[in-house]
Amino acid sequence: MDNNKKIYLTKEGLTELKKEYDELTNKKRPTVLARVSQARNMGDLSENAEYVAAREELTFIDGRIDELEIILKQAVIIRDVKASNHAIKLGSTVTLNSNGKKEVFTVVGEWEADPTNKKISHESPLGKVLIGKRVGEKVQVEAPVGKITYSVVSIH
C-alpha cells in the first residue's frame, strides 16, 4: 500500500472504518491474545492446533489493524457533494441510462467501493469516465460483454 496516496472516503465510510479499527483493537485482538496465551500453556506447541489457529488469527488481525491505521492516517473526507457545478465528482450519486435501463451509482473512493450496492470507485473503468461529466453527456465503458454506452440522466 502506498503510504503517501490520499484515500478518499465519505463520512459514513470513515465512521465504519473507525468502528472496525476500534472493534479489532479493543475487543477481538485482546480476545485472541488470551486464546494464544491459554493455548501456549497447554504444552507442546508443535502439535497444538488451537495455538496455531489463534496465532494465525492474531496475525490476520494485526495485519488488518496496520492497514486500517494507514487508511485512517491518509483519509481525505469527500465533502458533502451538491451538484453545484453539475459535474460528477467523488461523492456524486448519478442516474445513468443504458439501452433504456436506468441505474443509480454513487462514486466513492476505492476503499469504499461496493459494486453490489452500486458504490463504484472513482478509479474503476466506469468511475474514471464519469468524473467531470454532466447531465446529457454520454460515456463508453469497455466491459467483458463489449462496449457499454451510458448517458448521464441526473446528478445528485
Residue 47: predicted pLDDT: 73
Joined together, the cell numbers standing for residue 27 give 475487543
Predicted confidence at residue 80, as pLDDT, reads 63
Task: Give CA–CA dist 81/83, Å, rounded.
Answer: 6
**pLDDT value of residue 143:** 85
Residue 25 has pLDDT above 90, yes or no: yes
Q: Which cell goes with 8? A: 478518499
* pLDDT grade for 83, boundaries at 50, 70 and 90: very low
Note the pTM of the prediction, 2 decimals. 0.75
Q: 7-77 has which CATH code?
A: 1.10.287.180
Which CATH number is 93-155's, of 3.10.50.30, 2.40.110.20, 3.40.50.300, 3.30.1360.100? 3.10.50.30
At 44, the pLDDT band (50, 70, 90 cuts) reads low
Every domain range in the chain assigned CATH 3.10.50.30: 93-155
